[in-house]
Amino acid sequence: MNSYPHPIIAREGWPFLAIALVMAIAATLWCATWSILLWIIALFVLQFFRDPAREIPQDPGAVLSPADGRIVAVERVNDPYVQREAIKVSVFMNVFNVHSNRSPVDGTVQQVWYFPGKFVNADLDKASTENERNAVWLKTANGTDITSVQVAGLIARRILCYVKAGDVLARGQRYGFIRFGSRVDVYLPLEAGVKVSIGDKVSATTTILAILPQNG
């Protein structure tokens, strides 16, 4: 899978932005007063689908945030995908966050799972197991397993994932998108040194969630 070129506006948003702009322009020609709401909607669509390039930390042991948002969970759990005890770090994205999802580590995709489900508020912990979700299992060069799970939210109705088993991802590489509010769960090995706390605001790629030991 090739690296995404970051064209400022995510490709997933181009049709929505085009429709919003056409409607706003048409409304302006018909009635400037009534067009104000449509221009506000167009601006919302523009900000929602922004997709800025990010600086990538080069620490080989760093696990990077796969999404913009706020940390809503840091806890020891069972990773239901790789079947192991793990530390789960969850990032909640509201509608004003960038919604591109990016690889937390350099690694090879071992498997991808998709699960249909509910659309409860992604801020709730039960969203991790009850909502529609897509899990990507990554293995680093030294054999460490990382699971990154896209979780749909209350109004999110579309999870996009562009990778498959065998693909090699670089840290910070764009691999998916979730439309209109959601969360991403990252399952880490127990020995990972977590660097974030509940309530912290994080940025995709630039924020380090944890540091992995480098002894294999």
Active site residues: 182
Q: How far apart are CA 101 and CA 150, in angstroms?
A: 8
CB 132 within 8 A of CB 155: no
Give me Rg for the CA atoms of the chain.
18
List beta partners, residue 94.
none
Residue whose C-alpha is closest to residue 112's, from 139, 94, 90, 85: 139
Of 128, 92, 101, the C-alpha closest to 200 is: 92
Cα(156)–Cα(181) distance, integer angstroms: 5
Write the CB contacts of 208 (distance below 8 Å, at least 6 apart in sequence): 57, 59, 62, 63, 64, 65, 195
